Amino acid sequence: MKKYRIPIFLARKILGAVITVFLVMSILFFLLHSIPGGDMVTRAIPFDSAERKAQLRQLWGLDKPLFQQYVIYMKKVFTLDYTLYEGQETTSMDVVLFVLPYTLLLFGTATVLSYLIGIFLGIRLLSGKKIWMKLISGISVVF
């Protein structure tokens, strides 16, 4: 009976992650469509020609009703199809893999520094000196 707990746990976590991504992307879709100033093409390339904007609206499905736009958007989200124009040579995964090392370096450095600073400040708090308690508490409130 116990060996079936792990697959059920993993299935629940994966289902929860998919539902979370679905909800976040749905909220993002409706927020992007509620912003004044035109559609995404107008905001992305405001000074491009009208025919180029029409081509992009057709490619991105922005010339269709809102429900169809939503279906196209969600399909592109879950298939990782973020092409900006026809004939684009690089895929979205190429871009993600290009910036991934920089992201990991930045995130890893920030995480290690925050742990080191947190451990140092925690040790100082345990020293029992009032000045450290006031200083660290004040800095914590500011941050």
95-143 per-position pLDDT tens digit: 888 999 999 999 999 999 999 988 988 888 887 788 888 888 888 888 8
Amino acid at 93: M
Interval 40-58: pLDDT, tens: 777 777 788 888 888 878 8
User: Total structural domains in the chain?
Assistant: 2
One domain for residues 130 and 63:
no
Of 66, 88, 110, which one is at a domain's C-terminal end? 88
One domain for residues 81 and 94:
no
Q: What is the DSSP string of 26-73?
A: HHHHHHHHHSSSS-HHHHH-TTS-HHHHHHHHHHHTTTS-HHHHHHHH
C-beta of residue 83 within 8 angstroms of C-beta of residue 94: no
Amino acid at 23: L
CA neighbor of 26 nearest in space, from 36, 34, 14: 34
Mean pLDDT over residues 81-90, rounded? 73
Of 62, 88, 114, which one is at a domain's C-terminal end? 88
Amino acid at 15: L
- Inform me whether the pLDDT recorded for 1 exceeds 70: no
- Inform me whether the pLDDT recorded for 3 exceeds 80: no
Of 41, 73, 88, which one is at a domain's C-terminal end? 88
One domain for residues 75 and 9:
yes
Q: Which two tokens stand for residue 49?
A: 């020609």
One domain for residues 6 and 67:
yes
Average pLDDT, the chain: 84
One domain for residues 82 and 94:
no
One domain for residues 79 and 63:
yes
One domain for residues 34 and 82:
yes
Question: Structure pTM?
Answer: 0.57
Mean pLDDT over residues 66-82, rounded? 85
One domain for residues 74 and 16:
yes
Mean pLDDT over residues 72-88, rounded? 78
C-beta of residue 40 within 8 angstroms of C-beta of residue 47: no
Q: In whole angstroms, what is the distance from residue 66 CA to residue 98 CA?
A: 33
Range of the domain at 104: 90-143
CA neighbor of 75 nearest in space, from 34, 31, 41, 26: 26
Amino acid at 73: Y
